[in-house]
Amino acid sequence: MRTVGVEEELLLVSATTGEPLAVSAAVLAAAAQGRDEDEQGGGGDDPQGGFEKELHQEQLEFATRPVSDMGELRAEIVRWRGDAARYAKEAGARVAALATSPLPVDPSRNFGRRYLWMAEQFALTTQEQLTCGCHVHVSVESDEEGVAVLDRIRPWLSLLNAVSGNSPFWGGQDSGYSSYRSRVWNRLPSAGPYEPFGSAEGYHERVRDMLATGVLRDRGMVYFDARLSHSYPTVEIRVADVCLEPDTTVLVATLARGLVQTAADAWRAGEPPARIPATLLRLASWRAARSGLRGPLLDPRTMRETPAEVALEALLEHTDPALRACGDRDRAHRALAALLAQGGGAQRQRDLQRGGCDLGEVVRECVRITAGDDA
């Protein structure tokens, strides 16, 4: 069974105002101290994974270890979020699983040559990237299989963005989007949908050509919606917002693995990928970011608008054999039905505001949910 790992980016915020705080260095220092104490106490056999800094000092990233069981993945996410909350508190902050800050912020870039290069190259676009995503890594056997998967999952990726939408507010106002993070992220020159690669060599040649332009500094700046990881033997699916609740993250990961397995099976059966141009996929991406779960989405089979429930039912049908083989079918159906009934992170944030909360109170409530205190 294919393993799955998740990277989540979290927002560091004030416990009193909900405003982002530039304290990632202090949080990482607290985390390092905590790990040293665990090792001295005999607890140094923790699974792999860990915290890392991100572009801005108001962010913290963690990565789970790769697992094959989705219940285990959920436990990993809850554990890392709990650790993040504890270390942030030691640094005088809190963590919130929010894909954008509801409150206005002037982000503080982290130090380092790479981040300085980005600031000089991409100018204001770099400053705008205080956005928190969720990246799902699904194991593949080879680059050839991985690229075959990339070519075949393209039409379905926008639906994962719709499922994960958790960034309705930007700069103190309602953006009108479910996933405004994805709109900000796609301002970067290499981000978004991609054309089919055809083969592993075709993929690597495309990346070499992109780097040869001088616009990008390294392979890590190839920000396709999905790509071959340059660190692990995985396909890395990068379209999702960080999700407010762990169950939504697990649903995104479950569907991602189902898509990867379905695509690999189709490749081995000799089925060609759908030749949908990236121009249409960009429209599907925009539609998903705008509508989320509450409006129309583009059906990946027809590239025509359809109710969200219909498009997501098509996703479940498309991945059904893979979900069954992994034992994920019932979990995925239950989780998606609950999400459609209750609304995702974007809907929950809006409901809080419409219920009388100001945006600072919205953030503080999301801090509570992120820390696992949701009743």
Q: What is the pLDDT of residue 48?
A: 55
**Confidence check: pLDDT of 374 > 60:** no
Per-chain mean pLDDT for the chain: 95
Q: What is the pLDDT of residue 38?
A: 60
Q: What is the mean pLDDT of residues 60-69?
A: 97
Look at residue 59 and give its three-state secondary structure.
strand
d(CA 194, CA 281): 8
Percentage of the chain exceeding pLDDT 70? 95
d(CA 155, CA 281): 7
- With beta carbons less than 8 A apart as the criterion, state whether 52 and 43 touch: no
- pLDDT tier for residue 372 given thresholds of 50, 70 and 90: confident
Q: What is the mean pLDDT of residues 55-84?
A: 97
**Confidence check: pLDDT of 43 > 50:** no
**Confidence check: pLDDT of 81 > 90:** yes
Spell out the domain ranges in the chain: 4-370
d(CA 94, CA 101): 13
**Confidence check: pLDDT of 321 > 60:** yes
Q: What is the mean pLDDT of residues 119-127?
A: 97
- pLDDT tier for residue 36 given thresholds of 50, 70 and 90: low
Q: What is the pLDDT of residue 49?
A: 63
Q: What is the mean pLDDT of residues 106-115?
A: 94
d(CA 78, CA 73): 9
Q: What is the pLDDT of residue 162?
A: 98
Q: Where are the alpha helices (DSSP H) in 155-277?
A: 157-164, 180-185, 200-212, 246-268
User: Which residues are bridge partners to 61 per DSSP?
Assistant: 9, 52
Q: What is the mean pLDDT of residues 223-229?
A: 98
Q: What is the mean pLDDT of residues 202-210?
A: 98
Query: 4-370: what CATH class?
Result: alpha beta
Q: What is the mean pLDDT of residues 51-71?
A: 96
**Confidence check: pLDDT of 41 > 60:** no
- pLDDT tier for residue 34 given thresholds of 50, 70 and 90: confident
* CA-to-CA dists, residue 366 to 160, 314, 363, angstroms: 21, 31, 5
pLDDT tens track for 234-271:
999 999 999 999 999 999 999 999 999 999 999 999 99
Q: What is the DSSP letter of 343?
A: -
- pLDDT tier for residue 37 given thresholds of 50, 70 and 90: low
Global pTM reads: 0.95
Percentage of the chain exceeding pLDDT 90? 93
pLDDT tens track for 156-174:
999 999 999 999 999 999 9
Q: What is the pLDDT of residue 46?
A: 44
Which amino acid appears at position 147 of this protein? V
Q: What is the mean pLDDT of residues 284-298?
A: 97
3-state helix, strand, coil in the chain (%, to 5): 50, 15, 35
